[in-house]
Amino acid sequence: MPRYKLTIEYDGTGFAGWQTQAGLPTVQGVLADAVEKLAGERVHVAGAGRTDAGVHATGQVAHVDLTRDWRTDTVRDGLTAHLRPHPVAVLSAERVDAEFEARFSAVRRHYLYRIVNRRPDLALERDRAWRVPQPLDAAAMHVAAQRLLGKHDFSTFRAAECQAASPVKTLDQLDVTRCGPEIRVVTSARSYLHHQVRSMVGSLLRVGEGRWSADDLAAALAACDRTRCGPMAPAAGLYLTQVDYPDPFGADSAS
């Protein structure tokens, strides 16, 4: 049975997240509907990351098993056509070995968080970024962010409903840069706790406001206490941008 790796882009605003939920619109659900319309069979669409309601993706990865051996461009174009009018597009479809798993084969996931640091409301970027009206020091946020790199117990930045077996994760990258009014937080790790990225961004906001120092952020991490976390950043600014896989599934290349 042929297995296809799909790279997917979506606007998460109108969805209740990635994972199928009864009676609610989800990305996984509309993808399964599209596969059924194209291939005439109901299959499970397995994703690399279970993004929350309102979270977007420019490089989500999923895999599906189809009975028929379809051309990859037909899978890509056919699924995208059947996804309309939902704001979901299949950017690419590739044939992969049966051992490939979109979630469990992944070695790194990359996220972007967008803050628009200005007083006026957002017109074109509404639901696609977090507007923060007060001035933020992005350089101070970046310096503080480096204190979170490495292997730590991230309980402070973990949602109460998180189902991960352990709060210990290894954070490989957490960079904060400014380009005009936009502040971009870029992070990468093998895996994350539920709400970890949004919780880290909200805590970094306190540094940008001058309310916390880098030492305060490090102390919050060391406390392993959810009550020490800053405000959680809203879902609208978060994007799953890339998922990496090792050989034989892509030679450590991006999806």
Query: What DSSP line would sit under 49-71, residue for residue?
Result: --PPTT-EEEEEEEEEE-SS---
Catalytic residue, chosen from 52, 73, 77, 175, is 52
Query: What DSSP line would sit under 201-231, residue for residue?
Result: HHHHHHHHTTSS-HHHHHHHHHHT-GGGS-P
Contact between residue 187 and residue 174 where contact means Cβ atoms under 8 Å apart: yes
Helix (H, G, I), strand (E, B) or coil at 138: helix
For 1, 54, 62, the CA distances from 69, given in Å and listed in that order, are: 8, 34, 18
C-alpha dihedral over 43, 41, 86, 81, to 10 degrees?
130
CB atoms under 10 Å from CB of 85, counted, come to 5
Q: Give the residues across from 249 on adjacent strands.
A: none
CA distance 169 to 165: 11
Helix (H, G, I), strand (E, B) or coil at 165: coil
User: Hey, what are 223's tokens?
Assistant: 């406390």
> Does residue 52 have an active-site annotation?
yes
Q: Which residues are catalytic?
A: 52
